[in-house]
Amino acid sequence: MVCRFSTKLLNICIASLCKVGQLEKAEAVVIDGIRLGLLPDVVTYNTLLSAYSRFVGIDAAYSVIHRMKEAGISPDVITYNSLIAAATKRCLLSRSLDLFEEMLRTGIRPDVWSYNSLMHCFFKLGKPDEANRVFQDIILTNLLPSSSTFNIMINGLCNNGYTGYALSLYRYLQRQGFVPELVTYNILINGLCKSRKLNAARRILRELGESGNVPDAITYTTVMKCCFRSRQFEQGFEIFSEMKSKGYAFDAFSYCAVIAALTKTGRLEEANDIMEQMARSDIDLDIVSYNTVMNLYCRNGKLEATYKLLDEIEEHGLECDEYTHTILIDGLCKAGNVEGALRHLKNMTKMGFDSTLVAQNCVIDGLCKVGRLDHAIKMFASMEVKDSFTYSSMVHNLCKARRYRHASRLLLACLRGGMKILRANQRSVIDGLCYSGYTSEARRLKSKIRLAKILHY
DNA sequence: ATAGGGTTAG
């Protein structure tokens, strides 16, 4: 009896160490406990497991499961929930599903937390129907949905293109007495902004203000980003200043959003300034932050510094992603080193990135800019996947080279594919055709553009 | 123990 009570105390002690990432100390306490005859129980291991998954990685968390089993302690529903949530967070979705299966096989009954994670997982897999089935299961069985059940559902619907449904679900739940939390508001504002429903987003923002919740740094970053996305840069920068004056702490998310926007608008001095603020802060830079800084270096024309950054990324044990390579390739192009860019694009393909579309678009544009239009045309023809950027680059540069009829063909192909193309590009093709005497072709093109627009709404 | 914000090209 005494022992049991002490293990409880021991667990509290371990939990407080785990909370702040003091894993070694926590392990030392475990060992001390064993010496005193206090055996770790399932709570001890669950505490360690969640700390390992948070501070070290998912493999470290798995190894706790093995230790548990060796000690003769069976994992419980909390053990599995922690692991499933950790795997889902890291996009290891097949692992999440496997763990869920394993839990069922072991005879452990999933609780609402398990189903929440499963739903989240299906949404991340882009399977909203499956997620919805899980949601229905929660509602129809006697599991009590938690507020996160609804938040995950609303967020998942937004991320899968069902913002309208997300909003109606939200309204419905409100009528049923669901009190939205700050997260709920943040989820909706973000989802609505991303699908360009700005008025609806404003309404939710107003409701957030009226709800008595205080917007947090995430709300601010979300709204700021929303301004940048709709090209309201000044308004976005004002929000950044407001955040500062109200004393919000900046994290990597807010820094990256504003640095990228300043970089994009060519305000490089301010961008450098804020980038240095970020570097001076005690924020651990992750790969997204490095990418943002790297893009700024490239815009500054500092290719040397860019390569140094690549080393730094490795030294910190981080892995370059699709963005890193694309930014480098674009930087090489902008510096006029298209050969280098082509070489790196090949590397990228060899490394097995599943999409190199943006990088290819950069190279296409780079080739055109150095006058190698025919090489660009060849590359364009060889691309299996193209998007509106690919087309508009080609159309723009074909016009510049006065090859209007070629440009016209691509413009139509683009519109027929249901892709948008900049108004300015359309104008230059039509004007170019007229200017060089192909007036009837210009007229035909105009009506075809109209038709394509009708067909794609 | 879960859910929300940040990075690339025309």
Interatomic distance A333 CA / B10 C1' (Å): 14
Residue A6 pLDDT exceeds 90? no
Domains along the sequence of chain A with CATH: 146-215 (1.25.40.10), 220-318 (1.25.40.10)
Confidence bin at A272 (pLDDT 50/70/90): very high
Q: How far is the CA of A213 from the C1' of B3 (A)?
A: 17
Asked if the Cβ of residue A189 lies within 7 A of any atom of strand B, the reply is no
State pLDDT tens for residues A115-144: 999 999 999 999 999 999 999 999 998 899
Distance of C1' in B3 from CA in A359, Å: 33
A188 beta carbon to strand B: under 7 Å: no
User: What integer is the mean pLDDT of A235-259?
Assistant: 96
Helix spans in A71-160 (H):
77-89, 93-105, 112-124, 128-140, 147-159
Q: A380 versus A52: which is more confidently predicted?
A: A380
What one-character DSSP code corresponds to residue A281?
S
- A44 CB contact with strand B at below 7 Å: no
**Each residue of A168-208: pLDDT tens digit?**
999 999 999 999 999 999 999 999 999 999 999 999 999 99
Q: Is the CB of A135 under 7 A from strand B?
A: no
Measuring from the CA of residue A414 to each C1' atom, give the nucleotide at the shortest distance.
B10
User: Token pair 């892995």 is at which residue?
Assistant: A319
What DSSP state is assigned to residue A282? S
Using the CB atom, is residue A160 less than 7 Å from strand B? no
Write the DSSP assignment of A253-278 as a string of letters: HHHHHHHHHHHHTT-HHHHHHHHHHH
Q: Does pLDDT of A1 surpass 50?
A: no
pLDDT on residue A5: 52
Task: Write out which nucleotides of chain B lie closer than 7 A to a protein Cβ.
Answer: 1-10
Averaged confidence pLDDT in chain A: 94
* Whole-number pLDDT of residue A300: 95
Residue A101 confidence class, pLDDT cut points 50, 70, 90: very high
DSSP H helical ranges for A212-321: 217-229, 233-245, 252-264, 268-280, 287-299, 303-315
pLDDT tens, A60-73? 898 999 999 999 99
Query: Per-residue pLDDT averaged across A162-167, rounded?
Result: 96
Q: In this structure, what DSSP letter does residue A36 have?
A: T
**pLDDT for residue A274 is more than 60:** yes
Say how far apart CA A38 and CA A187 lie, in whole Å: 45
Nearest nucleotide to A260 (CA to C1') is B7
* Residue A91 region by backbone torsions, left for phi larger than 0, else alpha for psi between -120 and 50, else beta: left
Q: Given this model, what pLDDT does residue A2 score?
A: 44
Q: Identify the sign of the CA torsion A295, A296, A301, A305.
A: negative
Residue A364 (CA) to nucleotide B10 (C1'), in angstroms, measures 10
pLDDT band at A385 (very low <50, low <70, confident <90, very high): very high
